[in-house]
Structure 1
Amino acid sequence: MDFAKGPLKDPPRVLLPFLSSPHQHLGVLRCPLEVLGCPTDPAFVQRRNERERSRVKCVNAGYARLRQHLPAYSATRRLTKVETLRAAISYIKYLRDLLVVLENESTGSQQETLTCLVLTK
């Protein structure tokens, strides 16, 4: 884009806070996380990483538990997370449809029973 021809004579200046370092003249850039107020202390970073690893382990354990409840669960090949969610959705829909059919059948058999009782009296 040629800025000299447009309404702006100069290119837009974007202020990047991580460039405004006291050591800018040395070419040292501040960490973007520092600018956002996130501590970069090694102990803090280590604890943060440990929390993230723990969170990921919990999520993976949840997927493993969900896989065990699916009828398509295969011990030879582990389903991916996406496959697990899709299989769970399909299974839930199947169970819902099965309940509807069973409710209709039980309602129909109750109706038949009532009809038979009324006719025999």
Structure 2
Amino acid sequence: MIVIDASAVVEMCLGTPLGKVISQSILESDEDLIAPELLPLEVIHALRRQRNLKLITDAEANEAFKLFCLMPIQHLSHAELVQRVWQLRNNMTAYDATYVALAEKLSAPIWATDGKYQNTPQQNATTRLFTPAP
């Protein structure tokens, strides 16, 4: 099982070089993907932001969203994670803490494209960080 962060999902949906690396790594891992139920909202927010900044066109945003809707990602209710999210409140946002709480609950790694989960006090999730090639 892999807890997939919205940052990685957006890269995959946009078909960026980094997204292609992540997609290939998922295929090679033969693991199922899971995320908190807030993932779709985060993906929509990120696509909207990129479109508003004119980093992508409206057509590209629409295509990326369609690809997201086809992704085989299990969404877990965050209701059962809120106690742990509350415990992490001083070290990260509630959104990020939801991914950490899920990863801890499942003893699964978080796959992400930024280092926000690494070296955060009081959390026990492991992170596989994907970064663009230099």
Q: Tell me which protein shows more helix as a share of its residues.
A: 1
Q: Tell me which protein shows more strand as a share of its residues.
A: 2
Kindly indicate whether structure 1 or structure 2 has the higher relative contact order, using CA contacts under 8 Å at least 6 residues apart: 2
TM-score scaled by length of structure 2 = 0.21
TM-score scaled by length of structure 1 = 0.22
